[in-house]
Structure 1
Amino acid sequence: MVQHLNALKIRIREYFPPLENQYDWIRDPFNVDATNTNLTTFEKEQLIEVSCDPSMKNKFLNSDTTLLDFWICVGKEQKELSSTAVKFLVKFSTTFLCE
């Protein structure tokens, strides 16, 4: 029985990987290794472009800019990356509204 439960635990991790590292690039695109993300190759290239852009870093560090606002602003130049980030962030705002 113990073997069965251990095997089940391993299989569940295959289907549901931990989220803590998978979306670090959304929280801080300037302090993440693009190769350790779940992004497509094209989105990884866009993430590298964003992380190397000093004007984007200034917007990110601006205390008046929320994380969602920042990613919407990124969408003007990096549509695919922005879309992925916004889709992830919007899930949490709608969950909050339901509670």
Structure 2
Amino acid sequence: MDVMVDDLQVHVEIYGKGFPLLLLHGFTGDASTWTPFCSVWGGHSKLIIPDIVGHGKTQMSEDLERYTIESAAGDLNLLLEHLEINQIDVLGYSMGGDLH
């Protein structure tokens, strides 16, 4: 699904049921990085898997400030607000590990 977040179209995949788990890919990755884990982890968690700004199917921004860790983290927070998720576990690697 695509969600507008502060004038940026963000692509996010959602799988499973249970307490939400935000999965964040690394630099040059995308949501498909997590595909091998969805069938197992989706059995006990609602997986929220966005493409971070400039990656995968998420829109690129001409505003270079959008690519800072702080701005990307803010976009993720707005995405979670849009999805009405107030609490979440987070798992990320590489750049995705810096965003929480």
On whether the aligned pair clears a TM of 0.5, the verdict is no
Please indicate the TM-score interval, normalised by the length of the shorter structure: 0.3 to 0.5
The two structures have a TM-score, normalised by structure 2, of: 0.33
Q: Would you tell me which structure has more strand in proportion to its own residues?
A: 2
The two structures have a TM-score, normalised by structure 1, of: 0.33
Larger Rg over CA atoms: 1
Relative contact order (C-alpha < 8 Å, sep 6+): which is higher? 2
Q: Would you tell me which structure has more helix in proportion to its own residues?
A: 1
